[in-house]
Amino acid sequence: MADIDLIDVSIRDGNQSLWGATGLNTAQILAIAPVMERVGYRAIDFTSSTHMGIAVRTYQEDPWLMIRLMRKAVPNTPLQFIGTGFRFISWETAAQDFMRLVYQRLIANGISRFIVLDPMHDVDALLATAKMIKQEGGSEVMAALTYTLSDVHDDAFYASVAARAAGSPDVDLGYLKDPSGLLTPERAKTLIPAIQKEMNGKDLELHSHCTIGLAPLSYMAAAELGIDGVHTGAGALGDGTSLPSAIRTVANLREAGHNVDIDDKALAEVCDYFSRMAEAEGLPRGAPREYDAAFLRHQIPGGVMTTLKRQLSEIDMEDRLAELIRESERVRAELTGKLGRDPTSQELAPALGKVLAQSALGLAQDVDLAPYRLGRFAEGRLLTGVYGVGSIS
């Protein structure tokens, strides 16, 4: 049986997936931080450029100070930052010298573990970012393999990406990122061994959302295959469109004979804290989800769906959600011909633009997709946006 690490996603991805990324301020995070330190997490998924921007816009807080205070509160637990290496807070492509400065300051303020994510699996770009982070003193770089359903993304595709990433001295480990929760236990049984075979002995973690109820089962299958770590949410910030519940995941893994070396009392306290906060603040609590086959078609990630709903509610357009999803499917098909990757702003931006135009003008208005169009998707080329390659990653 396997020894399996636990990575907490409550503060960043859980918050984004269930609370629209606006549910936690610095004081609320720091109140539970010492207890999170005692749990024994492999790492805490702490922030991203988007979350740092929200700290400023929503709470008028200093996100750099937040990182420093959290680092002081959890001195022995790595804090994780996720990013593409293309942008920081702004949705425009940033110069590489600027991105180098960003990573310098993240490391100086207390981030030590970095996820390098390129949804189009441009390995050259991924490795360039990994090298930059290592040059600036990053302790651990994790290469992301973004799971999606398409004719291109078979086991051999992911194995080839894993081989190139793991072959770099600047990549310490990998993780299979399933933002839409589409990974089935059956696919896990072929995909994970194919990736592990190419990892050169480096660890592999699994990050899968519960959007259609598959993730808890896929975690169990992954454990049998020797996965090194799983990402979970605590209390109200687990399940739903977030990631599997930490307490239930630990119980299931142990029931199957696996070892999860954590402080159960501390974990229960963390879970209780976020659940009590949800009740006190009137925030939604994650709950097990029913299987929804529509996600196999539009593949919108849990965090994107929740944030999209929040943004629509802010402009009194909640009733247009179904229309927007249909339009994003059309845009996606026109961009790539096939389902290509984690759907982010590449599809949703022009789709939302059309829906907004219809609402404002009372008529249909086509959106020019030429700036976003992908010419050679099968070769892993990046989408080109209006600000340049990778600008909307």
For residue range 52-70, what is the model confidence (pLDDT) as tens digits? 999 999 999 999 999 999 9
How many helices (H) does the chain have, and how many strands (E)? Answer: 15, 10
Q: How many CB atoms lie within 10 A of CB 280?
A: 8
CA distance 330 to 351: 8
pTM: 0.84
**Tens of pLDDT, residues 218-239:** 999 999 999 999 999 999 999 9
Cβ neighbours for 19, distance < 8 A, ≥ 6 positions apart? 237, 283, 284, 306
Whether the pLDDT of residue 352 is over 90: the answer is no
The torsion region of residue 149 among left (phi > 0), alpha (psi -120 to 50) and beta comes to beta
Cβ neighbours for 18, distance < 8 A, ≥ 6 positions apart? 233, 236, 237, 240, 241, 242, 283, 284, 285, 286, 306
CA distance 367 to 195: 39
Mean pLDDT of 39-56: 96
Contact 243, 14 (CB under 8 A): yes
**Tens of pLDDT, residues 86-134:** 889 887 889 999 999 999 999 999 999 999 998 789 999 999 999 999 9
pLDDT of res. 286: 96
Mean pLDDT of 165-184: 97
- More confident call, 320 vs 206: 206
Mean pLDDT of 315-334: 79
User: In this structure, what DSSP letter does residue 382 have?
Assistant: P
pLDDT of res. 34: 98
pLDDT of res. 376: 36
Run of H or E residues at 27: helix 26-39
Average pLDDT, the chain: 86
Whether the pLDDT of residue 172 is over 90: the answer is yes
Of the pLDDT bands very low, low, confident and very high (cuts 50, 70, 90), residue 212 is very high
**Tens of pLDDT, residues 366-384:** 555 454 444 433 344 434 3
Task: Locate 323 and state its tokens.
Answer: 């229309």
CATH number attached to the domain at 5-281: 3.20.20.70
CA distance 329 to 326: 5
The gap between the terminal CA atoms of the chain, to the nearest Å, is: 38
Inter-axis angle of helices 26-39 and 63-73, nearest 10: 30
CA distance 18 to 386: 30
pLDDT of res. 386: 34
pLDDT of res. 330: 75
Task: Locate 264 and state its tokens.
Answer: 């159960």
**What are the structural domain ranges in the chain?**
5-281, 295-389
Closest to 250 in 3D by CA, of 6, 2, 1: 6
Contact 174, 144 (CB under 8 A): yes
